[in-house]
């Protein structure tokens, strides 16, 4: 499989690199150090239209599909993994609206999200649920021409920031149907009963706020239901599968960043008068990382192409996410080792990569969940 980008993808990558090199890299470190959401930088990014890369041009998108979205996530992560998190966590609610919403709901919410008028968050995981998305407890009770939602979600990234405009929530509409009784709703910020918890400090995604969301008798019109009643589980699983491609792409970009930092530092570092890259104990793990980066890129591209072709892609997505994120942790570790003792100091950018890489193995389904999905193929 050739990894050459087509003309549109090349233009996309070039535009992204202008942003990352001209704005993101020079200005992001103080925000990461303080665990602070970079509002002005995100506004600049939104104004460039990259949030709509994947989506239908009829609704303001760039039409480049999951392949294009993976390029965005990787390129951003090579500069700052937390910024890629802001992008991919905005992509999840956009994806569920784009794939399952009516034209009316797309006009109302997808178009302004593609324009970058505001950002969105995804409400799926609950305090007692974790990876078990079928055990959702948030309720949505039909009442006249509305649904009334009550419950809470955790780990909702982008919510509570100055740019947060809307969230999507998966809730139980028909409890007697079990997992088949879930539905998805769009809830705008400011809806009575919708409140946001305080952001916590994380070891990774330090600039991307993740919070708990609370809905207390929160009333929304029936028109805010995304797709058909009872399709929530299917919508979650498909959206998470696409999200896993983007998390894998984030791991790929982080791994490239780790190699970049290792090369820069190692090029001039000597121990006992000998350049450290003459030490096979360092160069062999770096060679393995470069090999794994190439393999991860192939896996991510393949999964994205399958998703865009509307072919089955859940297995390939799990493989790509598992491989790329596990590899990112290894890449961060060897890059820090190249720096020796200096790698432990926060003044050195490499020090933050361990935490940034580690969270990728949990989000959008842990490594264990991915192995479970892949392992099921053995008995299929």
Q: How big is the CA angle at 39 (ends 35 and 41), to the nearest 5 degrees?
A: 100
Q: Do 157 and 121 meet the contact criterion of CB atoms below 8 Å apart?
A: yes
- Cβ-count burial of 16 within 10 angstroms (0-12 exposed, 13-18 middle, 19+ buried)? buried
Distance (Å, whole) CA 35 – CA 338: 26
Going by C-alpha positions, the residue among 15, 75, 73, 23 that lies closest to residue 48 is: 15
In the residue annotation, 364 being an active-site residue is answered as: yes
Going by C-alpha positions, the residue among 177, 193, 162 that lies closest to residue 185 is: 193
> Torsion angle, CA of 77/81/83/87, rounded to 10 degrees?
70
Query: Could you give phi then psi for residue 118, rounded to 5 degrees?
Result: -160, 180
Q: Do 171 and 149 meet the contact criterion of CB atoms below 8 Å apart?
A: yes
In order, the DSSP letters of 192-228 are: TTEEE-PPPP-SSSTTS-EEEEEEEEEEEEGGGEESS
- Cβ-count burial of 342 within 10 angstroms (0-12 exposed, 13-18 middle, 19+ buried)? middle
Task: Please pick, among 126, 297, 326, 364, the residue that the annotation labels catalytic.
Answer: 364
**Helix, strand, or coil (residue 271):** strand
Q: Do 183 and 170 meet the contact criterion of CB atoms below 8 Å apart?
A: yes
Q: Residues 34, 130, 88, 230: is their CA dihedral positive or negative?
A: negative
Residues with a catalytic annotation lie at 364
């Amino acid at each position: 499989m050739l990894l050459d980008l087509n003309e549109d993808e090349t233009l996309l990558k070039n535009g992204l690199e202008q942003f990352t090199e001209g704005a993101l890299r020079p200005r992001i470190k103080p925000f990461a150090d303080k665990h602070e959401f970079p509002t002005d930088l995100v506004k600049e990014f939104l104004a460039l239209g990259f949030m709509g890369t994947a989506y239908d041009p009829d609704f303001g998108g760039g039409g480049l599909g999951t392949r294009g979205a993976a390029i965005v996530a990787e390129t951003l992560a090579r500069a700052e993994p937390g910024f890629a998190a802001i992008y991919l966590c905005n992509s999840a609610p956009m994806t569920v609206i784009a794939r399952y919403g009516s034209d009316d709901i797309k006009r109302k919410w997808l178009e302004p999200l593609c324009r970058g008028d505001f950002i969105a968050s995804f409400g799926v995981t609950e305090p007692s649920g974790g990876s078990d998305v079928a055990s959702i407890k948030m309720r949505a009770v039909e009442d006249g021409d509305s649904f009334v939602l009550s419950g809470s979600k955790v780990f909702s990234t982008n919510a509570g920031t100055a740019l947060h405009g809307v969230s999507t929530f998966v809730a139980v509409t028909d409890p007697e149907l079990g997992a088949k009784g879930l539905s998805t709703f769009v809830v705008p910020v400011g809806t009575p009963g919708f409140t946001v918890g305080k952001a916590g400090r994380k070891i990774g995604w330090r600039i991307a706020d993740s919070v708990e969301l609370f809905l207390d008798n929160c009333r929304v019109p029936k028109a805010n239901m995304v797709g058909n009643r009872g399709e929530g589980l299917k919508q979650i699983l498909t959206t998470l599968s696409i999200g896993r491609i983007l998390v894998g792409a984030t791991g790929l970009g982080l791994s490239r960043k780790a190699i970049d930092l290792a090369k820069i530092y190692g090029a001039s570092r000597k121990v006992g008068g000998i350049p450290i890259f003459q030490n096979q104990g360092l160069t062999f793990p770096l060679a393995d990382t470069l090999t794994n980066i190439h393999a991860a890129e192939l896996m991510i591209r393949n999964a994205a192409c399958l998703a865009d072709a509307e072919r089955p892609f859940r297995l390939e997505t799990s493989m790509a996410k598992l491989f790329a994120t596990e590899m990112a942790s290894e890449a961060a570790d060897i890059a820090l080792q190249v720096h020796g003792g200096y790698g432990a100091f926060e003044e050195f950018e490499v020090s933050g990569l361990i935490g940034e890489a580690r969270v990728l193995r949990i989000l959008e389904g842990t490594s264990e969940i991915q192995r479970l999905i892949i392992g099921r193929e053995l008995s299929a």
